[in-house]
Structure 1
Amino acid sequence: MYPKIKRRVTRKVWVGKISVGGDSPIRVQSMTNTPTADLNATLSQIQKLFEAGCEIVRVAVPDEKSAKALKDLVKESPIPVIADLHFATLLGEKAVKAGCAGIRINPGTFKNKANLERLLKICKDYNCCVRIGINAGSLEPEILKKYKVPSYKAMVESALRWVEYVVETVDYHNLKVSLKSSNWWETIKAYQAFSKKSDFPLHVGVTEAGGLIPGTIKNTMAISYLLLKGIGDTLRVSLTADPVEEVYVAYEILKNLGLRTLYPEVIACPTCGRCEIDLFSLYQKVEAWTKRIKANLKLAVMGCVVNGPGEAKMADIGIAGGKGVGVIFREGKIIKKVPETQLLEEFFKEVETFLKEHPERLINPQ
């Protein structure tokens, strides 16, 4: 059983053909870390992200070379492309005209409001979604002067100010908002406060969260808390790691909250002195294999033949190892006993058989 979550009611906006907010599923995003001007490398990474389940991808546009690559990048990308902008509104104009489905602007880095207004009008002409991306590390000088430190209150005032500016100045509403800090608790307070004052959809996550383990923990603390409160329409798990890992972690968070499932759940015992099999290797191989399939399944990898099937009886299919031998069980009942060397091969066959018998468990992420 999972918690019953009542999602906050927000407007529905569009990033290309992908809807965000309203009754849309919570969308998973990531960002490439290749030079955008390197078209082949960037497209290759986008393809890997897409195959992992990423629905929207952001790319950096720091210079003219990057902007020139966008037309072909957008044409070849299997998912909507968002241009990440700082300082140069002219690059943003080129990104929108190249076909980018969205732009992310960090208002604290734009000094010329006339140029920014021109960019926003072009976004309106092309129905290009705008994310107002507030970052604690780059708030406007007048906001910092007022609050002294980049607190959550400072972030919320900045976000509300810029939403009002876009809506009133340009009369444009295809907007989403983010309020990110490297402090997960400040991030939570910012999103909670903003969500009480605006119904624009929210892109949630923690910025500068760190590497795979510390970054996963920081993001999980903030994103899970917000989602449990019904706050969040799209998310990115920012990690100093392969961007594909961001997608995997995002779906793990959503799955464990009962909000979205893409990959099978793999449960495993933590090992103990009774374990007589290389459970670590076994688990890693099963986990890697499950990334090839998108299905609503619960699989188990247990280290003890005696207790394994009973402890994991809620799993659809599982394996439990022993000394030189293992068993495969289905819904807690042993169906096959095989030599350890054949355990994985037979297990994968049983999973494939199960999915043929239950095609409704397969998931089409589109």
Structure 2
Amino acid sequence: MKQTKQIRLRDVRIGGGAPVSVQSMTNTDTRDAQATLAQIRALAEAGCDVVRCAVPDAQAAEALKAICAASPIPVVADIHFDYRLALASIEAGVDKIRLNPGNIGGADRVHAVVQAAKERRIPIRIGVNSGSVEKHILEKFGGPTPEAMVESALYHAGLLGDCGFDDICISIKSSSVPDTMQAYLLAHEKTAYPLHLGVTEAGTEYMGTVKSAAGIGGLLALGVGDTIRVSLTDDPVKEVYAAKAILKAVGCAEEGINVVSCPTCGRTRIDLIGIAREVERRCMEIRGKRLKVAVMGCAVNGPGEAREADLGIAGGDGVGLLFRRGEIIKKVPQEQLVDVLMEEIAHFEGE
């Protein structure tokens, strides 16, 4: 597996074999520092590693001083076009900036931003999507193809490289899952910079999660990607939950409880859907453990079918089973199944 260059945001390492980190973006008005901090704290509590804030004007950049000073996780300033906002954000104490150097003016402006970033030892993320590719590159490739997006990203990286700066992360996103995947696979071949994965304009919680799971999860399964953001038209906290679930699904999560459950069938004699949802909800709140938990509908076949799970429950008719790696531990009244399972998870130490 190809190893990328490593960058650092406070104590969060990205690339170079570090664990895949989860990012999100606030949707509060950054100028309202207290509201933004409240959302950042909620994101951190959900398991977010890095947060990005929009910086549309000087007042937002000024608010970053209070935000960065109190944020429990690294803060990224999202800059478009105005290099002065990048300089102000760096001065305010951000841990990274997202900026495309080709969009902020001449070489003197790029040099000014690079020097400020070097002095503060903060990285720069280049973010290209299908709607931001330069005109001359679009003409060359006949549209915002994966090849065009990668060339655009490398063009911007080259501008930073010309200033002697390589503390860089790259994102190359499209609303098309196949185009997104092709672009990242190509970038993975062409550069050693860490890659920030995402599907842009993915949609609502349902469709956005599905598209992100297909694109981000597919790339991670191929060994591509160092940090991820699931973009949803919804509460940003839901982005974090979706991202953590994707990491669990492809085995990239260092910790967390992976809940598996069987589909219902004619043998089911318990409220399997409700029980599975309750177990999943309660497991999302648990930190510091890594294990697989099964919720099965059939007491006859369930323990055997889910023998690879660390712990599990299987339903019967009024009574269920608690099992560990396929071995039945005890019978439990149906109404106590979830509570008994959660107690067993709390005391589970592994082997």
Q: Is the 8 A contact 2:102 2:159 kept in 1?
A: no
Question: Which residue type is aligned with residue 223 of structure 1?
Answer: I
Distance 1:127 1:92 in 2: 14
The percentage of aligned residue pairs carrying the same residue is 47
TM-score of the pair, normalised by structure 2:
0.93
2:228 to 232, 235, 260: 235
Give the equivalent residue in structure 1 for 2:270.
Answer: 277
Aligned-pair CA distance for 1:111? 4.5
Aligned mates of 2:274, 2:58 — CA distance in 1: 47
1:336 counterpart SS class: strand
Q: Which amino acid aligns with 2:50?
A: I
Counterpart contact for 1:251–1:262, Cα < 8 Å: no
Task: Give the conservation status (yes or no) of the 8 Å contact 1:102–1:130.
Answer: yes
Counterpart check, 1:268 vs 2:274 = no
Q: Select the residue among 310, 320, 332 that pairs with 2:326.
A: 332
Matched, 1:214 2:207: yes
Uncovered stretches (5+) of structure 1, i.e. residues with no partner: 1-5, 361-366
Q: Does the CA contact (< 8 Å) of 2:219 and 2:225 recur in 1?
A: yes
User: Is the contact between residue 107 and residue 133 of structure 1 (CA under 8 Å) also seen in structure 2?
Assistant: no
Structure 2 unmatched ranges of 5 or more = none
What amino acid is the match of 1:95? S
The match for 1:301 among 280, 295, 300 is: 295
Q: Distance in 1 between matches of 2:344 and 2:186?
A: 49
Asked if structure 2 preserves the Cα contact closer than 8 Å seen for 1:12 and 1:19, the reply is yes
Number of the residue aligned with 1:182: 175
Partner of 2:280: 287
Give the TM-score of the pair, scaled to structure 1: 0.90
The answer to whether structure 1 residue 322 and structure 2 residue 337 are counterparts is no
* Shift in alpha-carbon separation, 1:132–1:226, aligned structure 2, 3 A: same
Task: Measure how far apart 1:228 and its partner are.
Answer: 3.1
1:119 aligns with 2:113: yes
Whole-angstrom CA distance in 1 between matches of 2:317 and 2:10 = 54
Aligned to 1:138: 132
Match of 1:202 in 2: 195
Corresponding residue of 1:41: 35
Instruction: Indicate the RMSD between aligned Cα atoms, in angstroms.
Output: 1.9
Paired residue for 1:59? 53
For the structure 1 residues 199 and 216, does the alpha-carbon distance in structure 2 shift closer, same or farther, using more than 3 Å as the test? same
The answer to whether structure 1 residue 18 and structure 2 residue 12 are counterparts is yes
Task: Give the Cα–Cα distance (whole angstroms) in 2 for the partners of residues 343 and 192 of structure 1.
Answer: 45
- Equivalent positions of 1:159-170 (< 5 A) are 159-168=153-162, 170=163
Q: When the two structures are aligned, how many residues end up with a matched partner?
A: 350
Contact map agreement 1:176 1:201 (CA 8 A) in 2: yes
Distance in 1, matches of 2:210 and 2:80, equals 28
**CA distance in 2: counterparts of 1:311 and 1:99, whole angstroms:** 52
The alpha-carbon distance between structure 1 residues 343 and 174, as it changes in their structure 2 partners (threshold 3 A), is same
